[in-house]
Amino acid sequence: MTALILASGKGTRMGSLTSDRPKCMTPLPDGDTILSRQLRQLCNAGITRIVITTGAFADVLTDYASSLDIPAQLVFVHNPDFERTNYIYSMFLADKELSGDILLLHGDLVFEDTVLGMILEAPASTMAVSTTLPLPEKDFKAVISDGHISAVGIGFMENSAAAQPLYKLTDRDRQIWFSRIAEYCRSGDDKKLTCYAENALNEVSGQCDIRPTDFTGLLCAEIDTPADHAAVSDKLSRLRDRSVYMCFSSDVIHSGHVEIIRKAAALGRLTVGIMTDEAVTAYRHLPLVPYSDRALMFSNITGVENIVPQSSLSYSDNLRELRPDIVVHGDDWRSGFQRPVRDEVMKVLGEYGGQLVEFPHSDDPCAHITEQRMRAELALPDHRRGRLRKLLTMKRPVTAIEAHSGLTGLIAENTRIYENGTVRQFDAMWISSLCDSTSRGKPDIELVDLTSRMRTVNEIMEVTTKPVIFDGDTGGLTEHFVYTVRTLERTGVSMVIIEDKTGLKKNSLFGTEVAQTQADIQDFCRKIAAGKAALKTDELMICARIESLILGKGTDDALKRALAYTAAGADAIMIHSRSSAPDEVIGFAERFRRCDSTTPLVCVPTSYCTATEEMLRDAGIDLIIYANQLTRSAFPAMQKAAESILRTHSASECDSMCMPFKEIIRLIPEEE
């Protein structure tokens, strides 16, 4: 690519600084001049041919530029009429030296490498603009409509942003603009030689595709006056000391990460925040690679000076503590669920004058494939089984929702809501005996055999990655239970919950309306111990479910059983209740916690649905299971649709209750 530097002007506003040299030779800190800095930056960016237009002090400029030993071909185009023409005429004269895409810049422009990189990487023609800087009094403004620059000028126009004369022009757009410049310069009208070249551009901008590149937060400024010179020199000397912050939550490092880290490190001293396991779990899934390993991986990338933990999706705590000059992020968070996080970052940066710098998000196909592979790993039994136990150590409360088919499994897996910059989703799935039986049109009395139940489990596991909690009913005979736990363990189930009932089991929500017998404490303890002894790993959790409150035996009995069951080896205790208020569950939880502060406590708020997660967590509950809501909500919807067809003799009314068929056929994407 060829660069065109316009350096013909006199720079009269610079006073004595331009009495014996052109403005582009004005000195900057570190022994540079504006021009030597530009030339070095262009060469570093890979530009090998640079056309410089000269005018005032042409010889001084030519000798100076040639003496710089720049590893690029320098071509000088002299504008002999520089006194009575504007740079539009220099561009006209330089046209014969140009071909293909070009970079166009004014010789008095000082910018940092990052801005040049953004311009060069832009996918189309582009101009440097700042959407947040105040509009300058005298300098360029660009009108942006629909993501395109439609006009550039110094007058105040609607929808305009501060702009700087740094462009990349594709071959096509260069030809369109320069042809109109040629018409201006050949018109014989003096006014067309003294106007801005952008006047010609504005007449043809509709035919061009020039997009803004936002340099907000970065140095890109013209030097027109000694005051500009002082301000820019000051900013330049402070560039190296800037502090920069970024955050990562990824399990893998791919080229996109290395690239954005390189760009961030070019802006200053880079601190990388690594999201803690708890933070990643809250919004995505338990990371496959733990925090300490992820921190180590990122600390070894060139450019990373410092690593700190970031304990939530929100940056605010770290920003307030570290007060970085710049936060770097990909521009993909301008929309979507991370938008509120970005808004908060902007607010906190605004509190102390920090800046946000966003780079275009790169959709790296390799990164996508790696991400898919990681997801596939999450679904493997050995990866899935232990995750519930880990989750229980890092999150309270853990939540699970029932699933009884591949489809409901997908709802449990994929349903998310975005709330104040965080994501809420279920952590696990509950394979309810009630819903599994109901979906087969059978009563919940341990009639559906283990083979059929395992088919449901496998169907769900095939299309999901989240931990599975299996409703083991009574666990059956102890002699049978030991085989059940091995089957579940091998399949990758994370927890089996067995209830302390014996004989013909009926659903607990019948309470004492039906005859149900609670198991003998010692017998049930033996079942738990036998199940624990049968396990090959310590990952599948056996949870003992206490039915004392369901059967009207009271909290004392429940507590006595809970302590006996944990002593027998239960990994967790589930307390069940069919009361319409959560009081008895909360009362039990508080008493249990006084005796046992660690064993996870599980509850199923079906009848006491008014209980909030916060309320249950505060009482000491660790795992909340929403045991039947998908089945209970689907059944009336299906029944209503069926009734509507019968009533109206048509599917027309029912259609509005249904998901569009175009959506249902795409609901389950085929694997690529």
Q: Could you give the residue numbers annotated as active site?
A: 444
State the nearest-atom distance from the C-beta of 662 to Mg ion, in Å. Answer: 37
- Write the binding mask 616 to 655 for ligand SPV: x where contact by CB under 6 A, - elsewhere: -----------xx---------------------------
628 binds, among Mg ion, ligand SPV, none (CB under 5 to 8 A by kind): ligand SPV
Bond before 397 cis per omega within 30 degrees: yes
508 binds, among Mg ion, ligand SPV, none (CB under 5 to 8 A by kind): ligand SPV
627 binds, among ligand SPV, Mg ion, none (CB under 5 to 8 A by kind): ligand SPV
Q: Measured from the CB of residue 525, what is the shortest distance to Mg ion in angstroms?
A: 21
Interface region with ligand SPV, contact rule CB under 6 A, candidates 110-118, 258-266, 324-332, 505-513: 505-513
CB of 497 to ligand SPV, least distance (A): 8
CA–CA separation, 465 and 413 (whole Å): 7
- Please give the backbone phi and psi of residue 507, each rounded to the nearest 5 degrees, phi first: -60, 140
DSSP per residue, 304-357: EEEEEEE-SS--HHHHHHH--SEEEEEGGGGSSTTHHHHHHHHHHHHHHT-EEE
Give the max Cα distance, the chain.
Answer: 108
Stretch that binds ligand SPV, among 5-13, 82-90, 351-359, 426-434 (CB under 6 A): 426-434
Count the residues of the shown chain that bind ligand SPV, applying the rule CB under 6 A.
12
- Least distance in Å: CB of 474 to Mg ion? 10
Tell me whether residue 319 or residue 627 sits nearer to ligand SPV (CB atom).
Answer: 627
Show the tokens assigned to 651. 């599917």
Are the beta carbons of 107 and 198 closer than 8 angstroms?
A: no
Place of tokens 């803004």: 212
Task: Choose among ligand SPV, Mg ion, none what residue 509 binds, the Cβ cut-off being 5 to 8 Å by kind.
Answer: ligand SPV
CA distance 430 to 519: 23
Q: Does residue 162 bind ligand SPV (CB under 6 A)?
A: no
Binding flag, residue 58, ligand SPV (CB under 6 A): no
Q: Min. distance of Cβ 509 from ligand SPV in angstroms?
A: 5
Contact in structure between 173 and 206 (CB atoms under 8 Å): no
- Is 433 an interacting residue with respect to ligand SPV (CB under 6 A)? yes
State yes or no: residue 577 binds ligand SPV (CB under 6 A): no
Site for ligand SPV in 592-621 (CB under 6 A): 604, 606
Decide: is 571 part of the binding site for ligand SPV (CB under 6 A).
no
| Torsion angle in degrees (nearest 10) through CA of 101, 106, 109, 114 | 0
* SS percent in the chain: helix, strand, coil, step 5: 45, 20, 35
Select the residue interacting with ligand SPV from 471, 489, 500, 584 (CB under 6 A): 471
Pick between residue 89 and residue 608 the one whose CB is nearest to ligand SPV.
Answer: 608
In whole angstroms, give the CA distance from residue 210 to residue 149.
6
Q: Minimal distance in Å, beta carbon 639 to ligand SPV? A: 20
Stretch that binds ligand SPV, among 53-61, 501-509, 512-520, 584-592 (CB under 6 A): 501-509
Per partner kind, with CB cut-offs from 5 to 8 A, the member of Mg ion, ligand SPV, none near residue 427 is none
When computed from its CA atoms, the radius of gyration of the chain, rounded to whole angstroms, is 35
Closest approach, Cβ 494 to ligand SPV, in A, equals 17
Measured between alpha carbons, how far is 111 from 109 in angstroms, rounded to an integer? 6
Residue 604 interface partner, choices ligand SPV, Mg ion, none, CB cut-off 5-8 Å depending on type: ligand SPV
| Pick from 261, 287, 256: nearest CA to 273 | 261
Cβ proximity of 305 and 269 under 8 Å: yes
CB atoms closer than 10 angstroms to residue 481: 22
Query: Which tokens sit at 216?
Result: 């907000």
List 197, 429, 434, 485, residue binding ligand SPV (CB under 6 A):
434
Smallest gap, in angstroms, from Cβ of residue 444 to Mg ion? Answer: 6
Cβ-closest position to Mg ion = 433
With CB under 6 A as the contact rule, which of the stretches 286-294, 340-348, 371-379, 432-440 interacts with ligand SPV?
A: 432-440
User: Quick one: which of 558, 624, 623, 625 has its CA closest to 595?
Assistant: 558
Q: How far is the CB of 508 from ligand SPV (least distance, A)?
A: 4
Of the candidates 111, 92, 161, 107, the one whose C-alpha atom is nearest the C-alpha of residue 132 is 161
Locus of tokens 């968070």: 333
Nearer to ligand SPV by Cβ, of 245 and 626: the residue is: 626
How is residue 33 annotated by DSSP?
B
> Which residues lie across from 502 on neighbouring strands?
517
**Distance in angstroms (rounded) separating the CA atoms of residues 537 and 102:** 64
Which residue among 432, 566, 599, 644 contacts ligand SPV (CB under 6 A)?
A: 432
Q: Nearest to ligand SPV by Cβ — which residue? A: 432
Residue 613 structure tokens:
């997660």
| Residue among 361 and 506 whose Cβ is closer to ligand SPV | 506
Tally of helices (H runs) and strands (E runs) in the chain? 27, 28
Interface residue list for Mg ion (CB under 5 A): 433-434, 471
Q: Which is nearer to Mg ion, 205 or 433 (CB)?
A: 433
What are phi and psi for residue 602, nearest 5 degrees? -120, 145
Q: Which stretch binds ligand SPV (CB under 6 A): 83-91, 363-371, 429-437, 636-644?
A: 429-437
Q: What is the dihedral of CA 489, 492, 497, 498, to 10 degrees?
A: -30
Should residue 508 be labelled a site residue for ligand SPV when binding is judged by CB under 6 A? yes
Binding residues for ligand SPV, rule: CB under 6 A, are: 432-434, 444, 471, 507-509, 604, 606, 627-628
